[in-house]
Structure 1
Amino acid sequence: MPGFLQRFFALIMRTSLVSQIVVGLVAGVVLALAWPAGAASAGLLGSVFVSALKAVAPVLVLVLVTASIANHARGQRTHIRPILVLYLFGTLAAALVAVFASFLFPTSLALAVPADTELAPPEGIGEVLRTLLLQVVDNPVNALVTGNFIGILAWAIGLGLAFRHASDATRQVVGDLSAAITRLVRAVIRLAPLGIFGLVAATLAETGLSALADYLRLLAVLVGCMLFMALVANPLIVFAKTRRNPYPLVFTCLRESGITAFFTRSSAANIPVNMELSRRLGLHEETYSVSIPIGATINMAGAAITITVLTLAAVHTLGIAVDLPTALLLSVVAAVAACGASGVPGGSLLLVPLASGLFGISTDIAMQVVAIGFIVGVVQDSAETALNSSTDVLFTAAAAPPPDAVPDPL
């Protein structure tokens, strides 16, 4: 038996992580169909995996960004500015794609879903910006506990700049701490196959897809826009930046980041996965250690699509006329609001009433649209997170050019 176990673990170590995740995905589907009760229990594995990712992500961001800035050599390029430009341009492009898709495929909603009175959406764009500002100056301990990545980034940048004036020995300690945290993160990522197995099994056993039957048209528009961004618009943006065939990098990011993000449904939880992928792609650590956490908070193409499509679906249902300038304004508002979307499942839905306010739609009606959003969220939020998170690595690699060598397999 010990010899069998040794060979078994040796086989696991030789098999790529992506292959293991696919096996876990298929096994989760089979278990959910064959034994729903057991599949629901297997959800514990998924919960543990997501909790582990969320536990290491705040510490990883704080330590890695601090170490990166503290040990950054003067005069060395980090490519952060062009990455931010790509993030913001991609989010705005996603909102525009959603506007055109909504006009081409208008969707009507049955606005009879009772509004959830516990939801508290922001009342205006000023409130979104105010919330962002308060997150920047959050207490560092509270930011770590609550997963406030904007606050964590602010403190990490501040500490990194302060440590630049420390002794070489102190900066070396910070670098060693960063390396230690990175090793812990890699250990957590190795649990991905079991985590995906549990998440898939539990989701299919508890919800299935039957509840989505009445909303397939809305879901098709949402997912169609996200697929268009992932497979057409984003590759065009990357090609314009790199003048290279973008699809090998696009498919690598979708396969190795998008799959995990699809099932965790959290950009914050996928930060460790994106950090590891960036390392294997050979990107500059000084760049991706900052750009990936920033992307998890402001690179929200999927959220912009969700806000725009649901808002225009409500507009179409109510028979409100929309002219081109108003549609363009909606795109800008959706893009800005998406940057302030919460990095948790369903976070973008609470910003729908904000965009709906442009058309004089009451909060009561807008909250009914939000409720419908939660119904289709089983698929919509997963696809949204996969697009958001995989694009973080894609744009980082495009702005900080990846090496010509083929990336190491998982």
Structure 2
Amino acid sequence: MFSALGRLNLISRILIAIVLGVLVAYLFPQSAPHVSLLGDIFIKALKSVAPILVFVLVIASIANFKVNQGVGSLKTILLLYVISMFLAALSAVAASVMFPSTLLLDLAPGTHLEAPSDISAILKALVLSFITNPITALSEANFIGILAWAAVLGVALRHSADTTKQVILDFSEALSKLIKWVINFAPIGIFGIIVVTFAESGFKTLALYGHLILVLVGTMLFVALVINPIIVAFVMRKNPYPLVLICLRESGITAFFTRSSAANIPVNLDLAKRLGINDAIAGVSIPLGATINMAGAAVTITVLTLAAVNTLDIQVGLVTMIVLSVVAVITACGSSGVGSGSLLLIPVACGLFLIPIDIAMKVVAIGLVISVIQDSTETALNSSTDVLFTAAVELSKK
């Protein structure tokens, strides 16, 4: 049996782990505390290796980057990131207007998390993250700081000896192999995550906010299966769905269960290599996308903010909704890149409608209740889009 499982591809083994996890959670819910360690170890291993991998990979990519070959591609990829996030926010506005949601705001917050007070706080935090101590950035998985230091060191090493550049490349290859070994244990880790998720949360709690979950997930699926394919089709001038579905299958599924764009970076880098994408481009655009390309976060911020607006019976005009979309994009870029990072930025968008912070934090608490579905779907959209747009731009050249 184990030999047969070993011959299956990673996605097939993950799907089997999902089915087994649901069965175990339903039949033996008391086993959740015992198998939770499997999921914790897997995610901890990914998050432990991902920062140093990104740091070394970006240094190696920039140090060996050919300016005349890749600057245009990176600019185009970044532009696609911004366009996708803005269209995702507008889609969330449209979905909230057509299918308005309301919240039970008398729900106890159940959290003592501190949210940013306004957009200026987000921008200030981003700037400070760029100049943080590199050791601190690595230890805290501050990917903005990691990218900043890696970019500076990469530029500084562009004029170093070829042997030095080769050593850095060899080190990044070694770390990539280490990540592949960790990824091979994904089915075991996902099995533990599934058991704990369904044994502890179940379906009753999720049913209380079924409509809200449908709006969130439906909007994210619309972005993944309609908005993004349109963008990719415009770039590639061909049927986008083969590439879209490959990215959702190979990247989205693992991101759904790790619930971290940062932890899914190695998966995207491996997929980019198999798609034949220039390593120099992917090594910069994918880690950067995991930090700032947050279409799913823009959807979450917009939908939950408008749900609070509907609950409080606040009248909102078209211009205000467009402004909200812009605010959602800016705040989404400040997401932390880890599970539920976007939820803490909801109070910033709520501030646009003068919603008090205590009520905004209750909205955050509701987001935490449904995060088992919302955050997983959001991360799947965010992470799969990183490799999708990188592949679209690079493959369009061929």
TM-score range, shorter chain: over 0.9
Counterpart for residue 399 of structure 1: 393
2:22 is the counterpart of 1:29: yes
CA deviations over 1:34-57 (Å, ceiling 9, x no partner): 222224322211111111110110
Q: Distance in 2 between matches of 1:340 and 1:32?
A: 35
Change (3 A) 1:64 1:200: same
- Name the count of aligned residue pairs: 397
Do the aligned partners of 1:63 and 1:177 also contact (CA within 8 Å) in 2?
Answer: yes
Question: Does the Cα contact within 8 Å between 1:91 and 1:335 map onto a contact in 2?
Answer: yes
| Equivalent residues in 2 for 1:84-95, closer than 5 Å | 84-95=78-89
SS of the residue corresponding to residue 379 of structure 2 reads helix
Matched, 1:162 2:156: yes
Aligned mates of 2:210, 2:21 — CA distance in 1: 24
Give distance in 2, aligned partners of 1:344 and 1:175: 27
On the 8 A contact 2:235/2:396 being kept in 1, the answer is: no
For each residue in 1:4-34, what CA deviation from the matched residue of structure 2 results, as whole angstroms up to 9, or x when unmatched?
A: xxx944x445321111111111111121112
**What is the aligned partner in structure 2 of residue 322 from structure 1?**
316
Q: Deviations over 1:50-86 (max 9, x none)?
A: 1111011001101111111112234222511111001
Give the stretch that moved more between structures: 91-100 or 187-196. 187-196
* Contact preservation (8 Å) 2:111, 2:365: no
Q: Is residue 267–residue 343 contact of structure 1 (8 Å, CA) maintained in 2?
A: yes
Task: Summarize the alignment of residues 301-380 of structure 1 with structure 2, pairs less than 5 Å apart.
Answer: 301-380=295-374
Judge which range, 306-315 or 115-124, deviates more: 115-124
The residue type equivalent to 1:205 in the other structure is A
Cα distance, 1:177 vs. partner? 0.8
Question: Which one-letter code corresponds to 2:44 in the other structure?
Answer: S
Structure 2 segments unaligned to the other structure (5+ residues): none
- State the one-letter code of the partner of 2:113: L
1:139 aligns with 2:133: yes
Quick check: 2:38–2:188 contact (8 Å CA) kept in 1? yes
Residue 225 (structure 1) aligned with residue 225 (structure 2): no
SS at match of 2:159: coil
Letter in 1 for 2:17: G
State the distance in 2 between where 1:117 and 1:40 align.
22
- Residue 337 of structure 1 deviates from its aligned partner by 0.4
2:240 maps to a residue whose letter is P
TM-score of the aligned structures, taking structure 2 as reference length: 0.97
- Give the Cα separation in 1 of the matches to 2:2 and 2:36: 24
Other-structure match for 1:247: 241
- 3-state DSSP of counterpart to 1:77: helix
- Which structure 1 segments of 5+ residues have no match? 1-6, 405-410
Q: Distance in 2 between matches of 1:118 and 1:196?
A: 28
Identity of aligned residues (%): 56
Paired residue secondary structure (1:76): helix
Q: 1:71 to 1:221 in 2, by over 3 A?
A: same
1:44 corresponding residue in structure 2: 37
Q: TM-score, normalised by structure 1?
A: 0.94
For residues 183 and 386 of structure 1, what CA distance do their matches in structure 2 show?
Answer: 23
